[in-house]
Amino acid sequence: MPTDLELRAPDGQPSSRTVVPDRETKRPEREFVRFTRLQRALHACMIISFISLALTGMSLKFSYTAWAVMLSRLLGGFQTAGYIHRTAALLMFGVFATHLYDLYRLKKHEYKSWRALLFGPNTMLPTRQDLKQFLATMKWFLGMGPRPLYGRWTYWEKFDYFAVFWGIAIIGSTGLALWFPILFTRFLPGSFINVATIIHSDEALLATGFIFTVHFFNTHLRPEKFPMDTTVFTGHMPLAELKRDKPLEYEALVASGQLEANMEEPQPEIVVRTIRAFAWIALSLGFSIVVLIIYAMLFAYR
């Protein structure tokens, strides 16, 4: 059974061969480019937007708690909080639209057809392979098998990805109804606003809860990545990590000879530091929100 360590042995040599001689600095190794500049920018925008939405929204949802009252004051009152919420929502819609446009461009320039993009080996859509890997992962969790060999996108990454689609559709549409109630009640009954409130609020609770716990664990807090994985911010992934976490992708890249083309110099130290600071802020805000929600739901619920 191949483990990541086994896989590392044959591939460790080409990387050291290509990188080491060119380097005199401390960080000689070139890194694998996993995310494009635009993707990284979109993720950062989404963090800003998401945390803003969560903070402003939760201050209203949990208005019966003292922290909500304080938070609302801190944000400049419920009206300012409302402006922030709607501005952040627009940013989120923008992120979503830009991503769709990016997909269209990707299809046009790289994949040439939707079929290639959507059903190729690097697809974001769930596949039979994902189901197999999920089952294999379960076995691995239970000590009944080895760790599966994951490809470019694992099933949990795909789940996270589509959770955003789902969230934007559900929270976005109900949010618009709450934003423009008079417009929406032109063709929907007034009590739809009540329904929209419940859906918007509970789906938002699901999204925040999920992102700030499950997503955080899956990508950042897993002990082997602890305290965080900066790949989505820098766009770079150490080759060793690629080999360990995405062996199938690595193999495919090696096989197609595309690996070298996807390697880049590491980000400058200052950039990495800034990114780490930003990520730390985002992580701690996210965690704080989770703590506050749990407090509100367990101890202050009315």
Partner 1 sequence: MATRTGRGARKRLAWVGFLALLLGAGAAPAADLSNDDCLACHSDKTLTTKRWARTVSLFVDGKRFSSSVHSALSCTSCHADLEGKDLPHSTPLARVQCGSCHSDEQKQHANSLHGRAIARGDALAPHCVDCHGNHDIVPVKDPRSAVAPLKIPFVCGRCHREGTPVQTNRKIDQHNILENYSESIHGEALFKKGLVVTANCASCHTSHNILPHTDPSSSIARRNIAATCTKCHAQIEEVHRKTIKGALWEKEAHVLPACVDCHQPHKVRKVFYTQGMADADCLRCHNDERLKAADGRSMFVRTVEVAGSRHAKVSCSQCHSGVNASRVRPCETITGKVDCSSCHEEIGQQYQRSRHGQLLVAGDANAPNCKECHGTHHVLGRHDPESVTFPTNVPKLCGRCHREGQKAAVRYIGRQHEIIQHYTESIHGKGLLKSGLTVTATCTNCHTAHLVLPRSDPDSTVNPKNVPATCGTCHHGIQEQFVQSVHSALVTKTDKEMPVCSDCHSAHSIRRTDETGFKLDIMDKCGRCHEEIARTYFDTYHGKVSRLGYTKTAKCYDCHGAHDILRVADPRSHLSRANVVATCQKCHANATRRFAGYLTHATHHDPKKYPFLFWTFWGMTTLLLSTFVFSGIHTLLWLPKALEMRRELRAAEQSENEQESGREQLEEKAGSEDGNHAD
**Which one of 68, 228, 279, 293 is in contact with partner 1 (CB under 8 A)?**
68
Q: Does 191 bind partner 1 (CB under 8 A)?
A: yes
Q: Identify which of 244, 245, 240, 288 has the alpha carbon closest to the alpha carbon of residue 263.
A: 240
**Which one of 38, 44, 45, 199 is in contact with partner 1 (CB under 8 A)?**
199
- Please report, as residue ranges, which positions from 6 to 45 form the binding site for partner 1 (by CB under 8 A): 6, 9
Tokens coding 283: 């992580």
Phi, psi of 264 (to 5 degrees): -145, 160
- Please report, as residue ranges, which positions from 204 to 223 form the binding site for partner 1 (by CB under 8 A): 205-206, 209-210, 213-214, 217-218, 222-223
Choice between 61 and 246, CB closer to partner 1: 61
Choice between 196 and 232, CB closer to partner 1: 196
Choice between 76 and 121, CB closer to partner 1: 76
Q: Does 203 bind partner 1 (CB under 8 A)?
A: yes
- Please report, as residue ranges, which positions from 143 to 182 form the binding site for partner 1 (by CB under 8 A): 146-147, 156, 178, 181-182
Q: Does 69 bind partner 1 (CB under 8 A)?
A: yes
- Report the interface residues with partner 1, using CB under 8 A: 1, 3, 5-6, 9, 59-61, 63-64, 68-69, 72-73, 77-79, 138, 140-142, 146-147, 156, 178, 181-182, 185-186, 188-191, 193-195, 197-199, 202-203, 205-206, 209-210, 213-214, 217-218, 222-224, 226, 302
